[in-house]
Amino acid sequence: MLAVLGEFGRFFLFLAGSFKGIGKLSIVWDNFMEECIKIGINTILIVVIISSFTGAVSAIQTAFNLTSPYIQDFITAMVVRDTMFSLIPTLVALIYAGKVGSFISGEIGTMKITEQIDALEIMGINSKSFLVFPKIIASILMFPMLVFLGGFMSILGGYLTVSLLGIISETDYVIGIRSDFNPYIITIIFFKSILFGLLVPTIASFQGYYITGGALEVGKAGTLAVVKCCIFILIGDYLITKLLTQ
């Protein structure tokens, strides 16, 4: 128990240190833009593919289950919409943890074992803020965009599927998507996106920053970072849903 509390304490000290001594804004801006490309733009393709196929499968499965003649066709689209909007932040976050979390942990871990971080400290640079701060800000900015892109592509994937397979008409699908929509769900998605966008880079960076050993430990740290990110994403998903839907 004490070891767990100590690890949490070290994590929060690490997070606080990431916001101290940020340095020149021009350098921070350059690092920030580079991180936006590495962890945001480079993740778009996998988010689009997985979200589209998830929406397509959800549409097919929902239509298959709702076979009663008393259920109108547009109900299928409503179920797809509500299901995907509930799942898409967590789904994209787990994708993000697997791709971006392992990348960040491996990148910082490699710098740690090759003593590049020690060199930054010797030069008087706060290595935590130099390496981690741009990643956190870029992730908080880019991750919500990925989530809303994933939500859009899941709805589009469902639309294309029902259209091509003739499961329901395009008109019924559009009517279902628009029917009884609760705008508050966008607020929930937004808060989840901000939290997940913060969790992944901080946990992954923390895992890579404090590794010891060689290349084997870098690989283990990457795996452990993904596992921890996934666990805290699920916990955060539950807590936000519980708090914001009461």
Residue type, 88: I
Q: Are 246 and 184 in contact (CB under 8 A)?
A: no
CB count, 10 Å around CB of 3?
7
Q: Is it the case that residue 47 has pLDDT exceeding 90?
A: yes
d(CA 197, CA 112) in angstroms, rounded, equals 24
Q: What is the pLDDT of residue 13?
A: 84
Which pLDDT belongs to residue 204?
Answer: 92
- The token pair that represents 96 in the structure block: 């993000």
Tens digits of residue pLDDT in 13-33: 888 888 887 777 888 888 899
How confident is the prediction for the chain on average, in pLDDT? 87
Mean pLDDT of 33-62: 91
The model's pLDDT over 53-105, given as tens digits with 9 standing for 90+, comes to 998 998 888 888 777 777 777 788 888 888 888 889 999 999 999 999 999 99
Residues 6+ apart with CB under 8 A from 41: 142
SS (H, E, C) the chain: CHHHHHHHHHHHHHHHHCCCCCCCHHHHHHHHHHHHHHHHHHHHHHHHHHHHHHHHHHHHHHHHHCCCCCCCCHHHHHHHHHHHHHHHHHHHHHHHHHHHHHHHHHHHHHHHHCCHHHHHHHCCCCHHHHHHHHHHHHHHHHHHHHHHHHHHHHHHHHHHHHHHHCCCCHHHHHHHHHCCCCCHHHHHHHHHHHHHHHHHHHHHHHHHHCCCCCHHHHHHHHHHHHHHHHHHHHHHHHHHHHHHCC
- Nearest CA to 102 out of 225, 233, 218 is that of 225
Determine the pLDDT at residue 2.
66
Q: Which residue has the higher pLDDT, 86 or 48?
A: 48
Q: Quickly state the pLDDT bin for 128 (edges 50, 70, 90).
A: confident
Q: Confirm whether pTM is higher than 0.85.
A: yes
Q: What percent of the chain has pLDDT over 70?
A: 99
Of 138, 136, 127, residue with least CA distance to 20: 127
Q: How far apart are CA 108 and CA 104, in angstroms?
A: 6
